[in-house]
Structure 1
Amino acid sequence: MTSDELKKAVSTVLEQPHHTQLYLVLKINNELVLRLADVEDEKTAPEIQRLFEEFLTAAIVDNDDMIVRNLSVADESSNAIYQYDYNSYPEELGLFKSFKLKTAIKAKKFNFHTDDLGSLFGYIIYLGSMENGVVLFKKHYPISLIKRGSLLLGAKKKAERFEKLPGVDIIRMNGDAQLLRLGDTIFVLDLKMLERNMGFSALIQQAATKTVSAIEELDILDDIEVLRDTLEVPSFARKLSKVKKASPIFKLGISKEAIVEFTKNTPELAGKFKYSEDGTQIRLSTQKSKIAFLKLMNDAFLHSELTKQWYDASAKDNITQGVG
């Protein structure tokens, strides 16, 4: 889906008659369960709807800098929204992925006598009609829950004295979200939240391991274990996870000999690598050489035909198809 298509889809939901429903996602015995939030109709429900309408408008509809990238191949970017294109899903995404309004409206209501806000994992917010809508996921963090045992101080308008507020559990909520779903398509708005809280790091490890295996088959490194050791570093594993699927080197079957020769004759790579005694394999002896090798395998060193200069382009779009 392109950014224009995403904007249009969200705009359609907001422009048509719609309502908003709030669901609490509880983590009970390591299982995520859904509870319908019984929200007061006159003041609270419209305010929740306004919060998330404004969020969608600012983050999607009016965001001219927004770009949509496939999650499996894109580098992290401040203005990117990532379309989830993996074939498998972590368990933490299951409830959000399978959410259906017609089923959800029959879910149990959150009950303060039988449910515990201490088990709150996140929220699912639905905006739309019964036929068409946007599903949002918002992660809950403990800092946003103020327990009734806390001392709450509040000031009333036209008063100069703070007073103790009633001792009740309070959820502090702002209008943002980290995941968005349209139909069956999930979009990631906050990549770090997905990795840290939704079990996505395990999928990254799997993809990164496949990349290391593919590089091992290429036989381009004199010691593959040096690269395999980097799987334990999250930031490096994330970069590795994209190489096997995204790199033209694997798609086009570029030979080991051509790659090594490229590293020796490209100004941008001069001095970045050491080589085996026979000069046929790359030796990764420093952290800088590992980073340079990942860029190499991602085909991130580009030559401008206009200026005849070399560039390090970590994010690029293929424009060769359809030109002419």
Structure 2
Amino acid sequence: MTIAELREKLNCLYEDGAGAVAYFILKIENQLCIRMVDIKNEFLDDLKTCYLNSLTTSIMNTEDARVEELQLLQISVADQRDNALYEYDLEDIPDEFAFFNTIAQDGEQQIFSSNNDSLKDLFGYVIAVGTNQNKALLFKKHFTTSYFSPEKFCIFESDHRFTKLEKPMIRLDTNFEMLYVDGTIVIKKLDTLEKYAGFHDVIKREATVSVQAITEADIVDNAEVLRDMVDEVSFARKLTKTAKGSPVLGKIPTPAIINFVKNHPKLKDKIKLTQDERKLHLDTKESKKQFLKMLNDDYLRSELTQAYYDSLAKDTLTVEEQGGE
């Protein structure tokens, strides 16, 4: 999906007839449970407006230069650029995200009741905006700072007089973290995704496949050392990107890679070669990181100035932009 396609799908949310429904995601004994939230009809339009405004500000308002330049990248090849959204394109989906599909397929869920449920179990909440045929689900992780307990003697103003809060209360934050639309999960920030234990397991499995691909490519004499860093989520995600979209691995001959490392002003001091100079040898954490950056072709050289650059974003030019026909 492109950012233009995402915006097109979200446009229908602004049409007449669109509404809003709120859901609490409770975590009870490590199991996630969905509860529909019964909100007075007079406040539902306000709820919809708040979340549509959040969508407009962060994704839809192309008159804002930063929003207009927003990109949608696949999570499997994410490069952590600042101004981007991320489409979850891995086949393995964490159990913690199952509520998206459940709500999308069947909006009618058990109603939250303080007699049977507790706000202390709140994991997050979903606001569904749109119609039965076209809707988006906006998810926000709940944090304890948004929970107000009567035991803390919370007060609020009522008819010009402050009164004590008698029941637990939460504050809904319209700054959503994930979006589900037309079967696709879109993440606003990668570090948000890394907070979920389920994603850790998924990305570690993907990273292990990447290590195997590097081993089979026979570029490194000790590729097994990469397995030592699979438990580090940010490194594991870089490994996943390597297997999914490396422009080097399996495409550039090993002698050319060796020659590149030997002559690069930075890499020649970071990555060692074997004694016969036929393979690379990774002996430090830094050498492993630089090796992955090299496989992802992050090291570029300007044709104009001949200067070397470390570049995350390497957006391929179209034929027209390259000057072709």
Answer yes or no: same fold by TM over 0.5. Answer: yes
Deviations 1:37-82 (A, max 9, x none): 110122x323222210110110110122311101110112221101
Name which of 312, 316, 321 aligns with 2:314. 316
Cα distance, 1:318 vs structure 2 = 2.4
Q: SS where residue 115 of structure 2 aligns? A: coil
Range that drifts further, 111-120 or 265-274: 265-274
Two-structure CA RMSD over aligned residues (Å) = 2.1
Counterpart CA distance in 2 for 1:187 and 1:310 is 34
- Say if 1:111 and 1:156 are closer, same or farther in 2 by CA, change over 3 A: closer
Cα distance, 1:321 vs structure 2 = 5.7
Name which of 122, 131, 140 aligns with 1:138. 140
Q: SS where residue 134 of structure 1 aligns? A: strand
- Say if 1:201 and 1:321 are closer, same or farther in 2 by CA, change over 3 A: farther
Structure 1 segments, 4+ long, off by >3 Å, are 153-159, 320-323
Q: Is the 8 A contact 2:153 2:165 kept in 1?
A: no
Range that drifts further, 60-69 or 219-228: 219-228
Cα distance, 1:251 vs structure 2 = 5.1
Match of 1:249 in 2: 248
Aligned pairs for 1:163-178 (under 5 A) are 163=162, 165-178=164-177
Kindly provide the amino acid, as one letter, of the partner of residue 298 in structure 2: A
Counterpart CA distance in 2 for 1:195 and 1:272 is 28
Counterpart CA distance in 2 for 1:157 and 1:251 is 71
Counterpart CA distance in 2 for 1:47 and 1:198 is 34
Counterpart CA distance in 2 for 1:55 and 1:320 is 33
Cα distance, 1:145 vs structure 2 = 1.4
Counterpart CA distance in 2 for 1:118 and 1:10 is 33
Cα distance, 1:247 vs structure 2 = 0.2
Range that drifts further, 292-301 or 22-31: 22-31
Deviations 1:222-251 (A, max 9, x none): 322432212222222221221111101235
Match of 1:31 in 2: 31
- Say if 1:155 and 1:20 are closer, same or farther in 2 by CA, change over 3 A: closer
Aligned pairs for 1:156-235 (under 5 A) are 163=162, 165-197=164-196, 199-235=198-234
Cα distance, 1:164 vs structure 2 = 5.0
Match of 1:148 in 2: 150
Kindly provide the amino acid, as one letter, of the partner of residue 293 in structure 1: F
Counterpart CA distance in 2 for 1:213 and 1:321 is 34
- Say if 1:131 and 1:150 are closer, same or farther in 2 by CA, change over 3 A: same
Counterpart CA distance in 1 for 2:103 and 2:197 is 16
Aligned pairs for 1:1-324 (under 5 A) are 1-42=1-42, 44-62=43-61, 63-100=67-104, 103-104=106-107, 106-154=108-156, 163=162, 165-197=164-196, 199-250=198-249, 252=251, 254-319=252-317, 323=322, 324=324
Match of 2:64 in 1: none
Q: SS where residue 153 of structure 2 aligns? A: coil
Counterpart CA distance in 2 for 1:124 and 1:174 is 11
Counterpart CA distance in 1 for 2:200 and 2:183 is 22
Cα distance, 1:309 vs structure 2 = 2.6
Q: Is the 8 A contact 1:10 1:60 kept in 2?
A: no
- The gaps in structure 1 that reach 5 residues or longer are none
Counterpart CA distance in 2 for 1:41 and 1:198 is 36
Q: SS where residue 57 of structure 2 aligns? A: helix
Cα distance, 1:33 vs structure 2 = 1.9
Q: Percent identity?
A: 35
Range that drifts further, 113-122 or 259-268: 259-268
Q: SS where residue 297 of structure 2 aligns? A: coil
Normalising by structure 2, report the TM-score.
0.90
Counterpart CA distance in 2 for 1:52 and 1:198 is 27
- Say if 1:158 and 1:166 are closer, same or farther in 2 by CA, change over 3 A: closer
Counterpart CA distance in 1 for 2:318 and 2:58 is 31
Cα distance, 1:89 vs structure 2 = 0.5
Q: SS where residue 294 of structure 2 aligns? A: helix
Q: SS where residue 220 of structure 2 aligns? A: coil
Q: SS where residue 81 of structure 1 aligns? A: strand
Cα distance, 1:125 vs structure 2 = 0.9
Range that drifts further, 150-159 or 192-201: 150-159
Range that drifts further, 8-17 or 89-98: 8-17
Q: SS where residue 13 of structure 2 aligns? A: helix
Kindly provide the amino acid, as one letter, of the partner of residue 142 in structure 1: T
Kindly provide the amino acid, as one letter, of the partner of residue 166 in structure 1: L
- Say if 1:198 and 1:191 are closer, same or farther in 2 by CA, change over 3 A: farther
Range that drifts further, 143-152 or 57-66: 143-152
Q: Is the 8 A contact 1:23 1:123 kept in 2?
A: yes
Counterpart CA distance in 2 for 1:155 and 1:114 is 29
Q: SS where residue 250 of structure 1 aligns? A: coil
